[in-house]
Amino acid sequence: MEDVTIIIGILRTWNRDRGFGFVEEPTASFPIKKYFLHAHEILEGQNPPPLGSLVRFELGAHAPGGKFPSAKKAWIVAPKDVTREML
């Protein structure tokens, strides 16, 4: 059986024209962990997702030539901008 890592992060950027963005995982120390999310990996929730949404996803491999690991099988679990509530 394959081990699956589930992560919850916050969508910080989204390129609507290209259909991808970056999710940040809050950590107790720096650097913040970032993950690449492509629109085709969104299984549930608003697509395109609003900035600040909570995203639940499985950890994927680095894309060829990619700087960050990928987010797969993503669920947008808070389809609103939650960053304003954090201030």
Give, for all 87 residues of the chain, the pLDDT tens digit. 678 899 999 999 999 999 999 999 987 777 789 999 999 999 999 888 999 999 999 999 887 788 899 999 999 986 555 555 554
What's the Cα-to-Cα distance from 84 to each of 10, 20, 53, 59, rounded to whole Å? Answer: 12, 22, 11, 27
pLDDT at 61: 85
Can you identify the CATH homologous superfamily of domain 6-86? Nucleic acid-binding proteins (2.40.50.140)
pLDDT at 27: 79
pLDDT at 10: 94
